[in-house]
Amino acid sequence: MTVIGDVLIDGVPVSATDAVISVFDIGFQRGYGCFEAMRSYDGSIFRLSPHLDRLEVSAAKLRLPTPDRDSIADWCRSVAEIAGDSVVKVFVSGGTDASVPGTNSRIVIFAEAVRPGSSTMTVQARTAPWHTDGDWSELTGAKALSYGFNLAASVAAQANGFDDALLIGRHGHVLEGPTFAIGWIRDGVFQTPGLEIGILESITRTATIEVAGRIGMTVEEGSYGFDDLMGADETFAMSTLREVLPIVQVDDRKFRAGIGTKGLQDGFAALVEAELYR
């Protein structure tokens, strides 16, 4: 990870080497807190407002106070302007008192260099019994710091020779990747798991659904089993870092990076262009 520029802690710039928060913070001790990762294209953040909305939702679910939205937006824009093409990250820590979350909470914002990625990816399906898969929990829909289970699934899939994991829920539904949403194309229709199964409301997924509408592709959101995915013609990941990325293998089944996915990729690039470079 390469940090570009200073780290802002509660809005105060600190050099990356001096950027520290307390070891007593429950963000560190218990993974209690929330975060966002946003893409800056040439110094402008794509869909800053929906990201800030999601941060507010996450913080509210965790009962964590946050600084006012305009200040957070200004801090994000200021690190993006200096960093240019980058990934801007925001972390709200839980604070230093587990019985009163938010006590001495810190907000940390910095930009990371975009890591060059591959043009396709492979995934291994892995069951995710910790995921609610449609049942409710206090943190359903929150982008909380506690990503240990997700990361362990990625690491296990990578140990088996795949680029990442694909999470299958306790009720058998296709959910999402550890850090991406999933969609596929079957007979020209774009299908993607619905938010009601408790997946993260991905900003990229929302944008890709809009793109599908613009290019005349039918979209269906719902609860899908693994066979629905395996019977598809094409499949792809959607995330801030990957944008729309063809998945060319799920377990032993190969998929082609087809024309439907290409249409969504091109449409997504056009959307970014239209929103940020007008």
Ligand X SMILES: Cc1ncc(COP(=O)(O)O)c(C=O)c1O
Binding site for ligand X (CB under 6 A): 37, 176, 179-181, 200, 202-205, 238-240
Cβ atoms of 97 and 104 within 8 Å: the answer is yes
Between 145 and 217, CB nearer to ligand X: 145
**Hey, which bits of the chain come out as E strands?**
3-9, 12-14, 33-41, 44-45, 86-93, 107-112, 121-127, 164-168, 174-176, 181-186, 189-193, 219-222, 234-239, 243-250, 253-254
126 or 205: whose CB is closer to ligand X?
A: 205
For residues 106 and 205, which CB has a smaller minimum distance to ligand X in the complex? 205
d(CA 73, CA 257): 36
Which CB, 9 or 244, lies closer to ligand X? 244
Of 215, 214, 149, nearest to 176 by C-alpha is 149
Q: Which is nearer to ligand X, 157 or 181 (CB)?
A: 181
State which residue, 14 or 152, has the beta carbon closest to ligand X.
152
CA 242/CA 120 separation, integer angstroms: 10
Q: To the nearest whole angstrom, how small is the minimum distance from the Cβ of residue 143 to ligand X?
A: 7
CB of 206 to ligand X, least distance (A): 8
Smallest distance, Å, CB 96 to ligand X?
Answer: 26
- The answer to whether 112 touches 3, Cβ cutoff 8 Å, is yes
228 contacts 174 by C-beta, under 8 angstroms = yes
- Contacts of residue 16, defined as CB under 8 A and 6 or more positions apart, other chains included, come to 3, 6, 7, 110
CB of 53 to ligand X, least distance (A): 11
Could you tell me the smallest distance in angstroms from the CB atom of residue 168 to ligand X?
14
DSSP state of 228: H
Least gap, CB of 97 to ligand X (angstroms): 27
